[in-house]
Each structure stands twice: as structure tokens, then as C-alpha cells.
């Protein structure tokens, strides 16, 4: 599932800096969820469902390049609304990715966790947010 975070990072590098990531845990805290929202918050996509429907997530062969290409094909309209100049967010996001270990997933909130100043990770780290 960490591939979704790298998808967002690659989309930022391609100029879609208005795209923001909303990672969370399910109420049972068993499932990690990831949504993308566009620059004007008019659209929100459940990309964790999209990834599972389109790729074998356990298969290591699905490259970020393949995932990006498919996402651009499937969600061109969404990406048009994600073109923006939020370099501050995309820089923060890039730095956040560097803090993660392989397989480690961040989450902004769950039924049991909600701190607007930090994202917590599956390894118990706290990553400072922009707020």
C-alpha cells in the first residue's frame, strides 16, 4: 500500500502539486485507507480501493511508473483539478516519504487517534504536519 504514497509523490513531481493525501485507519484499525483530494477539495478519491481493484498489491512487479500511468488514464479529470502551486505541501510530503521505512504507513487519523499536528505511523513514529 505504500505504493500509493509514492504515486502521490510522483504526481507532485509531474506538476499536480494541488493533490493532497489523506491516510487513515479503519474503525477496527486493521485496514489502512488512503484518499486523494484535489486542489480545491471538490473531489475525493479512495485510491486504496482503486489500487486493490487494478493491481495485485502483493505483487512487487507493479512499478510506480505503471501505477502512475494507469492513474493518469483513469483520473485525468481529477488531475486537472489537482494542478496547482502548492509547492510547500509537496515538499513536506517528499520529506515525509523519506522518513518512512519500507512498508511503514502513516495515518492522519483513526477512531482512536486524531492529532492535527502529527501523522502517526504503523511503526509508532510521529511525523509533524504542516498545521
Would you place residue 91 in the very low, low, confident or very high pLDDT band (cuts 50, 70, 90)? very high
Would you place residue 28 in the very low, low, confident or very high pLDDT band (cuts 50, 70, 90)? confident
Q: Is the pLDDT of residue 85 over 80?
A: no
C-beta separation of 82 from 14 below 8 A: no
Q: Is the pLDDT of residue 64 over 70?
A: yes
Percent of the chain with pLDDT over 90: 63
Residues 48-57 have a mean pLDDT of 85
pLDDT of residue 60: 62
pLDDT of residue 112: 80
C-beta separation of 2 from 100 below 8 A: yes
How much is the pTM? 0.90
Would you place residue 57 in the very low, low, confident or very high pLDDT band (cuts 50, 70, 90)? low
Domain assignments of the chain as residue spans, ordered by start: 2-128
Amino acid at each position: 500500500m505504500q505504493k500509493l504514497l509514492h504515486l502521490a509523490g510522483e504526481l507532485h513531481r509531474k506538476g499536480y502539486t494541488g493533490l493532497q493525501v489523506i491516510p487513515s485507519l479503519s474503525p477496527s484499525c486493521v485496514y489502512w485507507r488512503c484518499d486523494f483530494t484535489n486542489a480545491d477539495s471538490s473531489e475525493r478519491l479512495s485510491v486504496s480501493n482503486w489500487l486493490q481493484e487494478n493491481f495485485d498489491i502483493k505483487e512487487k512487479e507493479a512499478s510506480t511508473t505503471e501505477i502512475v500511468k494507469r492513474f493518469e488514464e483513469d483520473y485525468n479529470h481529477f488531475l486537472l483539478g489537482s494542478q496547482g502551486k502548492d509547492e510547500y505541501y509537496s515538499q513536506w510530503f517528499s520529506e515525509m516519504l523519506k522518513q518512512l521505512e519500507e512498508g511503514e504507513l502513516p495515518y492522519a487519523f483513526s477512531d482512536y487517534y486524531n492529532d492535527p499536528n502529527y501523522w502517526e505511523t504503523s511503526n509508532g513514529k510521529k511525523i509533524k504536519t504542516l498545521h
